[in-house]
Amino acid sequence: MRDADDYSGWIGHRISRSEIVTDRMVEHFRLTLTGTRGPLGVPAGFHWCLAPDAVEPADFGRDGHPRTGIFLPALPLPRRMWAGGEVVWSGEIGLGDTVERISTIRDVTFKQGRSGPLGFVTVDHEYLVGGEVRIRDRQDIVYREDPKPGVQPAPKAGEPWEPVRSWKITPTSTLLFRYSALTFNGHRIHYDHPYATGVEGYDGLVVHGPLQSTWMQNLAADLLGRLPASFAYRGLSPLTCDRPVTVEARQTDEGIELRVRRDEDGVVTMQGLARA
């Protein structure tokens, strides 16, 4: 495994893109979130649809993402996951706004996990309207080795909650397809079953991390009647297609705690904290 210092030249690497928020984009996003929509005209999490990374097919990696070495560093680990992050709002994005997304690599680190070496890339995204920052979004990306033969330890069920509000969702392959299309996400684990199971070792098509985060953000907005000031979230376990989940929230001294929990076994796949 190479040292993080080998990638220090990538820190500060920046790219900027822009896009206009259209009625069609927002309506399609809202229809995709049917049953989980909060009170907002432009739902929380919609910013992930704007100005996505886009390359021609010759620049795809094996997983369908733009290959590493273009914007993200080429770490010596093949499997990519959206591990978590934090969204901070200083204003809303509205219909007709021209939004500029400025993405900057903040850090590159390596750690040793239970399943092997891990590489982390932290990317800061700023979403601006008229030169004013409306959203600051930290994205934590983790890279890991291909799966090794053998049985992986089963994750434990989450502790019981008494939620103040909850949503029931069953993620289908159609939902995953539509969300991938909205966000221009080519990652094959979300639509290519043989690749997801045979190469990356999942037990089915994988539900997007940002989609799960979007469910929680909109549940928090539904409780508050507005956007929260911030929302931090972290993935805990993969969620695969056709497994019903409960998105639930409870009030704590720190803020609104949220999580996505599989109905069949109680395993929590993602957790978050919204601060008012």
Q: According to the model, what pLDDT value does residue 151 have?
A: 62
pTM given for the model = 0.95
Q: According to the model, what pLDDT value does residue 2 have?
A: 63
Q: According to the model, what pLDDT value does residue 105 have?
A: 97
CA dihedral of residues 65, 206, 177, 16 (deg, nearest 10): -40
Report residue 156 as tokens.
Answer: 């434990």
pLDDT band at 116 (very low <50, low <70, confident <90, very high): confident
Q: What is the mean pLDDT of residues 254-268?
A: 97
CATH of the domain at 172: 3.10.129.10
User: What's the distance, CA 46 to chain centroid?
Assistant: 12
Q: What is the mean pLDDT of residues 64-77?
A: 93
pLDDT for residue 153 is more than 80: no
Sign of CA dihedral 46, 47, 48, 49: positive
Q: What is the mean pLDDT of residues 1-29?
A: 90
Q: How do strand 165-169 and strand 245-251 relate by DSSP bridges?
A: antiparallel
Q: According to the model, what pLDDT value does residue 169 have?
A: 97
**Ramachandran category for residue 59: left, alpha or beta (phi over 0 → left; psi -120 to 50 → alpha):** alpha
Q: According to the model, what pLDDT value does residue 50 have?
A: 98
pLDDT for residue 1 is more than 70: no
Domain span holding position 179: 4-275
- CA–CA distances in Å: residue 76 to residues 53, 57, 122, 196, 251: 21, 22, 16, 20, 41
How many domains in the chain? 1
Report residue 25 as tokens.
Answer: 């984009």
Q: At residue 166, what is the residue type? A: S
Q: According to the model, what pLDDT value does residue 160 have?
A: 93
Residue with tokens 């704007």: 50
Q: According to the model, what pLDDT value does residue 155 have?
A: 87
Full strand arrangement of the beta sheet holding 245-251: 14-20, 98-113, 116-129, 132-144, 79-89, 230-235, 268-275, 256-262, 245-251, 165-169
Q: Summarize pLDDT for 186-209 with one digit per residue, the tens.
A: 999 999 999 999 999 999 999 999
CA dihedral of residues 51, 56, 58, 62 (deg, nearest 10): 40
- CA–CA distances in Å: residue 54 to residues 71, 129, 212, 248: 11, 21, 23, 34
Q: CA-to-CA distance for 182 and 61, rounded, in angstroms?
A: 20
Q: How do strand 116-129 and strand 132-144 relate by DSSP bridges?
A: antiparallel
